[in-house]
Chain A
């Protein structure tokens, strides 16, 4: 496991210069990294850290449904995980607050052009640990109308949810959930205004949130997420409450076998 890049850079700067805390060079060398850092990663120092991993497919055929996994499970004490795509017209993709969950999420996003995709994990000491990779893709995912817009009865399916929970050997609950929603970006050629699920909260029987997701327009139509929750052994369901930017509320309940 590599140490965070910042500490290496500080060592190279030599005595007397560390206090200046020059930000580490962006390994993805993105032209907009400085603005990403100031816009989305406030309130703490920023380091590049290999313990925060982002996986993207090696080939993108469908720019409206690009599977992304952000995994910071090797980094202890993550209180927030922010996903951003530097060159997307809407850069902030989602934020996971894993109150009682792993610092792990997989989901799908729309991509308007090839772009760095980053995960920034903020630990309890306030430090942002940033990992990422370059996603190579042709463009157009954010400006293409949702498929639902081609269906006359699209509104009948909004909020329908499907999913399952698997108890893992360590007792945690792996949740996979799909919620039907057009997730209109507001940028599409058909002039549909932005209409998207902006939050999903998962809880067990105690009602305290286990994980909270803040979603933005680039999350793909029919959001499909994977999360790992520290669900109490006796709980028999994971309850989900979602809300969209028009005030629509979407509730789901996923049954789970109590831990034997």
Chain B
């Protein structure tokens, strides 16, 4: 808070500025130097299993993009990390945390998919420890730079120095043996074209990445909803212990799988019905959501995004050709 008048926090100052004329044209860049330190609070779920819960929020300059869960597992071979967070700085803090929790070096870092809140910490880890599927790597290659632009815009200074980094190890379908953990990579699809879930065959922990959301609305910018629902059915068939979703609380049982399916069915049905009545994007966005979604964080925000994601596909696929040939 250096340089601000006494009693004036940065947020209060910004709020005051927002009330002044032309605030949106000067943007808020000048007064926004972030404290540049995340508060990573690991929660222990079981022996040698921790996760850092992401904020149940949209990416912002307040949360620095730390909205997704990251996971640290202890093993005889070293620390195992799942997902690296939204920025170089987050990745650096997560690497330190993983070493401190396990008292070991980092043996493996899994990247579940190519979305920016899960992979922009990659830079903080040795490339050969970073592992994922070819689909995830292709996604980072093609979209990494556009994601960086979007993240610098949304999260601001938290992103300083962050660049996309491709994982150096390509995973097959065989499990990786870490001594007291055997991690099976599950190559799936639906949330994106390439989603990696991880299953510890020894402890039964299932790390679902963004195939599963809990008490936070799922995101659909690269989703194939029909495939996603099939994948959720397959995940539901795995006899697992703890389930760690990409966003939302980790817990035993399959509540996250059921809720993600229910959300996808709810919004897909609502959006298609409105589309078939001839409503446009703004009209469909304005429709009410069912009452059960009120307890889901970001329900309206993600619904609005999903309307935009689905509409283009529906227009291309559901309307008859009408040009005179």
Contact = CB atoms under 8 A, between A and B. Distances in A.
Given A69-B282, A160-B323, A166-B277, A59 B305 contact: yes
Nearest to A61: B221
A198 B53 CA distance: 51
B308 interface: yes
Interface stretch (B41-49, B183-191, B311-319): B311-319
A177 B322 contact: yes
**Secondary structure type dominating chain B contacts:** helix
A166 B58 CA distance: 36
B308 A252 contact: no
Contacts of A161: 321-323
B56 interface: no
By CB atoms of chain A within 10 A, which of B22, B25, B308, B323 has the most? B323
Given A69-B282, A166-B277, A224 B315 contact: yes
Interface string A162-196: 11101000000010111100000000000000000
Contact of A31 (B25, B282, B324): B25
B268 interface: no
Contact of A57 (B280, B285, B312): B285
A58 B322 contact: no
A32 to B, nearest CB: 10
A201 interface: no
Contacts of A134: 24
Interface string B293-325: 000000001001100100110011001111110
A65 interface: yes
A17 interface: no
B180 interface: no
Given A61-B308, A176-B278, A176-B280, A164 B150 contact: no
A162 B304 contact: no
Contacts of B176: none
By CB atoms of chain A within 10 A, which of B150, B278, B321 has the most? B278
Interface in B58-111: 58
Contacts of B315: 162, 176, 178, 224
A104 to B, nearest CB: 10
Nearest to B146: A140
Contacts of B280: 67, 69, 106, 176, 226
B153 interface: yes
Contacts, number: 89
Given A114-B24, A253-B324, A174 B278 contact: yes
B149 interface: yes
A255 B321 CA distance: 11
Contacts of B283: 69, 106
A159 B281 CA distance: 23
Given A59-B304, A176-B280, A163 B319 contact: yes
Contacts of A176: 278, 280, 315, 319
A159 B315 CA distance: 15
Contacts of B202: none
A162 B316 contact: yes
B4 interface: no
Contacts of A123: none
A254 interface: yes
Contacts of B288: none
A18 interface: no
A138 interface: yes
Nearest to A180: B323
A57 B22 contact: no
Given A138-B150, A252-B323, 8 more contacts: A31-B22, A57-B281, A59-B58, A61-B305, A69-B282, A106-B280, A224-B315, A251-B324
24 contacts: A57-B308, A58-B304, A59-B304, A61-B308, A67-B280, A69-B280, A69-B281, A69-B283, A106-B283, A134-B24, A138-B153, A161-B321, A162-B316, A162-B321, A163-B319, A163-B320, A164-B319, A174-B278, A177-B322, A178-B315, A179-B323, A224-B315, A226-B278, A252-B324
Shortest Cβ-Cβ A-B pairs, 8 listed: A162-B319, A67-B281, A166-B278, A161-B323, A69-B282, A138-B153, A106-B280, A226-B280
